[in-house]
Amino acid sequence: MHTITYIRRGVQILSLTFLFYGATLLHLKPTEIKWYAMQENSRQATELLYGNPTWTQPFQTFLPARSCRFAGTHGTFRGCLMFFFSDILTWRPPLGVVLPSLALVVVLMVMLARFWCGWICPLGFMSELLYEARKYLGLKRIRFSAPLRNLLKAVGWGLTFIILFSAWFISWSAVAWSIKKPLYLAVCQMCPSKLITPALTGFPIMINLTFPGASTTLLVSLFVVLVASTLLYFSGFILKRAWCKICPLGVILSFFNQGAFLSKEKDLIRCTKCAVCASACPMETSTVYEEKTKKYVNHSQCIHCYRCVDLCPEKKCLTVKFLGLPLFKS
Amino acid sequence: MKTDFEKRYQRAPLHRPAEKVSARVRAASEDLAARLHKQPDRLVSLPYYEELFTTEKRKKELQILNRKVVGTYCYFAPEELIYASGDVPIRLCSGHSDTITTAEELLPRDICPLVKSSFGFPILGDGWIDACDVIALPTSCDAKTKLGEYLADYLPVWMINLPKIKNYDGLKEYWLKEIKLFLHKLEELNGKKVKAPELKNALQLLKRRAELYRAMYELRLAHPLLLSHQDLLMVVQSSFYDDLPRWINQTELLYNEMKKASATGKYAAKGKRLMITGAPIIWPNFKILNIITELGSTVVADDMCAGHQRLWDYAEPDEWTLEGMLEAVAARYIFPSVCPCFTTSYDRIDKILHLAREAKVDGVIYHDLRLCQIFDMEKDLVVKVLKENQIPVITLHTDYGQEDVEQLRTRIEAFLEMIL
Amino acid sequence: MITAGVDIGSVGTKALILEDGKILSTEIMPTGSRPKITAQMVLAKALAKVKLKPDDVRHVVSTGYGRRVVDFGEKTITEISACAQGVKFLGAPKGTVRTIIDLGGQDIKVITLDDEGNTKDFVMNDKCAAGTGRFLEVIAHALEIELAKLGELALQAKQTITINATCTVFAESEVISLLAQDVKKQDIIAGIVDSIAERIAAMSNKIGMRPTVAFTGGGAQNIGLVKSLEKKLDTEMYIPELPQFINALGSALVAQRLQSLR
């Protein structure tokens, strides 16, 4: 029973170990990344020199999304997909240099879409552990209401836009350093992983509310967002996968959920409309239940956890297919 | 004991014990049991279920049992909660035609025979309702909605306010509240709170029943005559009355016997493979099934609330917390239901198409119970879609009486000749 | 090769003797309260008409609501199939029949046929007798008119009145109250006939009527009803020569097929 969930848990444990502790365990040396904030000696920004940018490291861009740079020297990869996109927008490398990595990323996204979220992402896995703990304690779960879900979706879009826009904005030399500094890798400044990943890997947590020459107002505002998003993350204890509902990386991947190679199909006639799928969805989408005329049931926010397929009481009603090949069946 | 009817106006409960009527009721059950008994190559595990309908054994057991008995109607009274509270649910929907005249002394003539037939029993002071402590009555159709006030003269009645529009977001919250309210009433009745482990046991018990039924259904697809449809309905409907763990044990025996017998290969369908849809066929109103058997054809599937539908679905919680289980119980009664009391017939049409496809039926019989408007109103679209799918369908408009058996026979026979 | 078809209807029992596709004789009697004996008598009479002995008949097939009580039949078929077979055999001078309306004593049937002339679908009235032959009988009795004259009188109507009640019993009361208002019998009959036609037309439209439409059964002898129904259905109907014997003919044809199978 519930085979898919068991398989998934196994994959999640493996990927967390690999992404967070892989470098230590496998004696790998992840390439150092230099970036603005680390130029503390001179207390100056080196806008021209950028050693080992992400796009020169194909190994690091092998996954559409990777572990967090705050996993420090323990992690296998440095920096997630948002890091990668932000870097490209900020440094605007020649297309020829960035194209292979970019192409690989796009191909993987087209193939797997948000599969990352449900099976690989260590943050997502840990937030699932949060609600597993609550289940164990027998505490009541709270569901997001439909308006709140829509609001969170809008917030996610907003965040994604701000992150990508600010990355592009600071690439202009006319922009003042006081703005450039805080907004550099704005994604990391707001991401709960900045606090959670170091806590797990022993990497120092870095919070600078003041920085020479940088706008304190901006730094503090970003910190407020960080606190809010971390709180949202931990509210995953009673609200399933709360952070995942606004995660900017998820927003980008979600564009590929429709029409990805990995796809979920429903036998419309066999389905008894029992809505078990809707109640099982950790992202609280109800497309699998609501869709009654088309066999493809891929919601943009689906994290491919296949909990719906796992719990569906009707044999062969839901099928997960990769390029038409069935992987899992209910 | 609490009731939903606070009695601002009183009507004296009508009592008309009539030995003649009661005897006719018993005779109807005995006749049917005897008839079923005579089926050729019948499995030996089956007479157990007959006893539940022909003897008073179980009723006496209930009366001395130190557990509260909750009489239920329809598909929607949540059995899981009743079992979790340590109480026993008994389904009061009746198929006896003999009690109808008795009930018509109070009830109007032009309402559904199921309601009239069931209401005859409290007037007679007979039947399962005698063993009940309280009645749980969902407002599934007009007749059931108004029946509560009549029943409240005899027993405390809890109405279950059933929504009519299957709209996922709005309905699940509303209906969850209603389910919790029902649980609260049960807790008050028993003087103790229901805890998560108790509810989990109840959910697993009913899931076991569903799995058992599903296994039997699958076995019957290839060998439908292992259980004639009359026998299948008898087995299904006896689970409404029997002690459930005992019923499950017994049915496991039956299933094993079915599995063994299926190897002999002599239980393939005879004649045409038919499916019955529509209003419930409840013991002992098996006249349509009997006619089909006499005409040499086999019913292989149904989608009735006193048959396939009742045992097919089960609650599947995402998490086994109290709240999670209650959510699953709530969802289980509303969303997979194909009862025509909901605003759309689409889900039901899908179900019929699926069953017809899976059971490879040659034709569908639409059982349209006279004065059940909702089944009657759904008929048009259901019939149209079935015909578009090249599935022949015939509507039988009838009630509990025996007077139209010959007309029904002509219609069914002509239908069978037609799909030759 | 002589075969016979016996149709034990609710009002009349009909017998038809067939020899290699040629109708030798027909006979009709009221069914009465002992359908079994009536069936024997009507068959004997039909045989006597053409001076045949029961032994000359190779096969007998019975149909109609009493089809199962007769003990001489080798096979029973329902009146729906029998009707379809009969109409298919007769063919139609007005085109190929795709829909049959059969108005019998206690049933109204509308049968649709596929392109091969086999039954595709059918509808029948419920157990209620509204609009059936029995209904016409009751009305004729209330008006003190012979059943057979009803049709012609309906055509003489000067004004149209509407009969609202569909129930036989209530329609009878309505007729009586119309008589009390001094409405002419012809007009009342026309109203009654129209109300039956309306009912049949609704059934035909619901099942998806296609021309050509055949009208059989005792009801087809009522010329008023035929005209009214043709107007309502907006099509000309084919009425076989012996509309009451179509079912008996159909079963005699089935009996001939028993022969060829042997």
Domain that holds residue A313: 263-329
- Taking the CA of residue B404 and the nearest CA in chain C, the distance in Å comes to 7
pLDDT band at B321 (very low <50, low <70, confident <90, very high): very high
- Whether A242 and A273 map to the same domain: the answer is no
Residues of C with CB under 8 A from a CB of B: 65, 77-81, 107, 118-122, 124, 126-127
- The length of chain B is 420
Pick from A134, A139, A241, A273 the residue to mutate for testing the B interface (most B CBs within 10 Å): A273
pLDDT over 60 at A35, yes or no: no
Q: What is the pLDDT of residue A189?
A: 86
Task: Report yes or no: B388 at the A interface, CB cutoff 8 Å.
Answer: no
Determine if residue C147 is left, alpha or beta; phi over 0 gives left, psi from -120 to 50 gives alpha, anything else beta.
alpha
Task: Report yes or no: B328 at the A interface, CB cutoff 8 Å.
Answer: yes
pLDDT over 90 at A1, yes or no: no
Q: What is the pLDDT of residue B302?
A: 94
Task: Report yes or no: B407 at the C interface, CB cutoff 8 Å.
Answer: yes
pLDDT over 70 at C14, yes or no: yes
Q: What topology is assigned to C1-94+244-262 in CATH?
A: Nucleotidyltransferase; domain 5 (3.30.420)
Helix residue ranges, H only, chain C: 35-49, 79-90, 133-143, 150-155, 168-180, 185-207, 223-233, 246-261
pLDDT over 80 at B257, yes or no: yes
The residue among A251, A276, A298 that closes a domain is A251
- Whether A182 and A288 map to the same domain: the answer is no
pLDDT over 70 at A58, yes or no: no
The amino acid at residue C241 is E
> B209 vs C39, which has greater pLDDT?
B209
Question: Lowest-confidence range among A144-148, B253-257, B308-312?
Answer: A144-148
Q: What is the pLDDT of residue A174?
A: 79
Q: Each residue of C43-69: pLDDT tens digit?
A: 888 888 888 888 888 888 999 888 888
Neighboring chain B residues of C81 at a CB cutoff of 8 Å: 414, 417-418
pLDDT over 60 at C117, yes or no: yes
pLDDT band at A55 (very low <50, low <70, confident <90, very high): very low
B69, B132 contact by CB (below 8 A):
yes
Question: Lowest-confidence range among B283-297, B353-367, B368-382, C127-141?
Answer: C127-141
The residue among A251, A280, A309 that closes a domain is A251
Distance from the Cα of residue B99 to its chain's centroid: 18
Task: Report yes or no: B419 at the C interface, CB cutoff 8 Å.
Answer: no
Nearest to C41 by CA among C13, C63, C18, C69: C13
Mean pLDDT of A179-205: 84
- What is the Cα–Cα distance from B285 to B94, expressed in whole angstroms? 9
- Whether A238 and A304 map to the same domain: the answer is no
The amino acid at residue A77 is F
Q: Each residue of B6-64: pLDDT tens digit?
A: 878 888 899 999 999 999 999 999 999 999 999 988 999 999 999 999 999 999 999 99
Closest Cβ opposite residue C65 in set B387, B397, B410: B410
A197, A126 contact by CB (below 8 A):
no
pLDDT over 60 at A44, yes or no: no
Q: Each residue of B218-232: pLDDT tens digit?
A: 999 999 999 999 999
Residue A257 lies in a domain: no
Q: What is the pLDDT of residue B199?
A: 96
pLDDT band at A66 (very low <50, low <70, confident <90, very high): low
Residue ranges per domain, chain C? 1-94+244-262, 105-235
Q: What is the pLDDT of residue A47?
A: 41
- Whether A159 and A269 map to the same domain: the answer is no
Answer yes or no: same fold for C1-94+244-262 and C105-235: yes
Total tally of structural domains belonging to chain A: 2
Q: Each residue of C206-243: pLDDT tens digit?
A: 888 888 889 998 888 888 888 888 888 888 888 888 88
Task: Report yes or no: B336 at the A interface, CB cutoff 8 Å.
Answer: yes
Q: What is the pLDDT of residue A43?
A: 41
pLDDT over 50 at A177, yes or no: yes
Tell which CATH architecture fits domain C105-235.
Answer: 2-Layer Sandwich (3.30)
- What is the Cα–Cα distance from B397 to B395, expressed in whole angstroms? 6
- Whether A85 and A211 map to the same domain: the answer is yes
Residue A256 lies in a domain: no
Residue A258 lies in a domain: no
pLDDT over 60 at A61, yes or no: no
Task: Report yes or no: B413 at the C interface, CB cutoff 8 Å.
Answer: yes
- Whether A234 and A267 map to the same domain: the answer is no
Neighboring chain B residues of A139 at a CB cutoff of 8 Å: 321
Closest Cβ opposite residue B321 in set A135, A290, A292: A135
Q: What is the pLDDT of residue C261?
A: 54
Residue A247 lies in a domain: yes
Question: Looking at residue A277, which CATH number applies to its domain?
Answer: 3.30.70.20
Query: In whole numbers, what is the pLDDT of chain B averaged over residues?
Result: 93
**Residue B96 to residues B280, C53, C241: CA-CA distances in angstroms?**
13, 50, 48
pLDDT band at B192 (very low <50, low <70, confident <90, very high): very high
pLDDT over 90 at A102, yes or no: no
pLDDT band at A109 (very low <50, low <70, confident <90, very high): confident
Q: What is the pLDDT of residue A27?
A: 67
Q: Provide, rounded to the nearest whole percent, the portion of chain B with pLDDT above 90.
A: 86
**Nearest residue of chain B to residue A282 (CA atoms):** B318
Sign of CA dihedral B74, B77, B79, B82: negative
pLDDT over 50 at A295, yes or no: yes
Q: What is the pLDDT of residue A59?
A: 43
Neighboring chain A residues of B318 at a CB cutoff of 8 Å: 276, 279-280, 307, 311
Q: Each residue of C151-172: pLDDT tens digit?
A: 888 888 888 787 776 677 777 8
Q: What is the pLDDT of residue A76?
A: 56
Task: Report yes or no: B321 at the A interface, CB cutoff 8 Å.
Answer: yes
pLDDT over 60 at A34, yes or no: no
Query: In whole numbers, what is the pLDDT of chain A averaged over residues?
Result: 82
Mean pLDDT of A5-27: 85
pLDDT band at B94 (very low <50, low <70, confident <90, very high): very high
Query: In whole numbers, what is the pLDDT of chain C averaged over residues?
Result: 84
**C212 preceded by cis ω (within 30°)?**
yes
What ipTM, to 2 d.p.?
0.89
pLDDT over 60 at A39, yes or no: no
- Whether A87 and A131 map to the same domain: the answer is yes
